Structure 1
Amino acid sequence: MDGSDIFELSIRSQNELRELVGTPHQAVVKKSVAQLDERTQDFISMSPLVFISTSSAEGKCDVSPRGDQPGFVHILDERRLMIPEKPGNRRGDSMFNILSNPHAGLLFLIPGLHEVLRINGRACVVKTADVMPKWPANQEPPLLSVVVEVEECFIHCSRALNKSQIWDVDTWPSKENLPSAAEMFQAHLKINGYTLKE
């Protein structure tokens, strides 16, 4: 089949989709809370990596990672957390999306743990010093941070990470067989007709 026709096969309604996926158990529905309880805070404090998903007002989506030492995401209170924005490539995709569509989804991981923590909520971009004027002495305070006010918070089952064997070192491909990020970067520049000057 021609790939251009694939959207003609797409499911069009919530009812049609629900008939195919079924109805979730009440325990799955009720596990979502709108707060950061003690156990959730412990999970976040041990996570060195979170993926943040955003979309613009036009629906342009983005998912990008944020990582540092465990505890780099700050719990402000039972409803709000803050993710520091460290200096990077200056694209600012997540932050610009939040300016036009103030919502974000977060996915927290802990190495070796197959369950992940999902948080969805209202988001904003702040000057870090306005929210946390006192910063840990051993850390460089970032200029900007993303604050998320929790609307949904729940633990996600281990199936995906179990199936992927992501934490099983024996299943990892050898380094010489891994894709080259530098080659991909150069190839994509070439597609767009841009040559990086040395």
Structure 2
Amino acid sequence: MKKVNFIEEAITSEKEIREIVGAPHEFIIKKAISIMDEHCRQFISKSPLCFLSTSDAEGNCDVSPRGDGPGAIKVLNPHQLVIPDRLGNRRVDSMLNIVSNPHIGLIFLIPGIEEVLRINGRAYITQNKEILNEMIWENQVPSLGIGVDIEECFFHCPRALKTSNIWHPEKWDKNVDIPSMKEIFYDHLKINGVEIKE
């Protein structure tokens, strides 16, 4: 299929979107709260996986999965939490975005639960030793953390996770056949002109 010019027929206003989609019920608007109440804090304490969405000052976006044991993300109080930064590939895309644009979005998941918790706020890179020393994992203290000032929290409906059957292994496609991640990695390096010596 040839490249599509999305700009030609793009919807460019809220009015156009609302004419097609309609308006949300009042309850949907008012379910968003500005603090992490007991329900939010409990959900975060049980969540081993969250997705961190950031963008830089020019609007270039990134979403990064953050997996750890349940409770690894530390809720400091109803208004703040800290995500430990575990040593990885050193790309630090999320942190580089945060230093130029603090606005972030988070989605927390719990295996087997089809609702997710969404949190929006402002993030800052922290070296606070008192906090980071409480986030030890495999005998290592994270050298950095992402501190978040909470602006909005709400639980999202289960439709996406329900229809994807993500928590139902018996419904997964047993015939998925994709190359190994090593093969994909090398092929992507070649696209960027990196010569791979076998």
**Alignment TM-score, normalising by the size of structure 1:** 0.93
The answer to whether residue 133 in structure 2 is matched with residue 141 in structure 1 is: no
| 1:102–1:122 CA contact under 8 A, matched in 2 | yes
Cα pair distance change 1:135/1:9, threshold 3 Å: closer
1:100 equivalent to 2:108? Answer no
Aligned to 1:68: 68
Question: Superposition RMSD on alpha carbons, in Å?
Answer: 1.9
- Secondary structure of the equivalent of 1:76? strand
Aligned pair count reads 198
CA distance in 1, matches of 2:175, 2:2: 36
More helix by share: 1
Opposite residue 50 of structure 1, the aligned amino acid is: C
Question: Is the 8 Å Cα contact of residues 84 and 128 (structure 1) preserved in structure 2?
Answer: no
Matched, 1:8 2:16: no
**Greater mean deviation of Cα atoms: 119-128 or 26-35:** 119-128
TM-score (norm 2): 0.93
Encode CA deviations 1:30-74: one digit per residue, 9 max, x unaligned: 000010111110000000000000000001000010011100000
The residue type equivalent to 1:181 in the other structure is: M
Counterpart contact for 2:108–2:118, Cα < 8 Å: yes
Structure 2 unaligned spans of 5+: none
- Write the distance in 1 (CA, Å) between the matches of 2:137 and 2:178: 38
Q: Distance in 2 between matches of 1:120 and 1:137?
A: 26
**Matching residue of 2:30:** 30
Q: Which residues of 2 match residues 97-176 of structure 1 at below 5 A?
A: 97-129=97-129, 131-135=131-135, 139-174=139-174
Tell me the distance in 2 between the aligned counterparts of 1:42 and 1:185. 38
Contact 2:132-2:142 at 8 Å conserved across structures: no
Give 5+ residue unaligned stretches, structure 1.
none
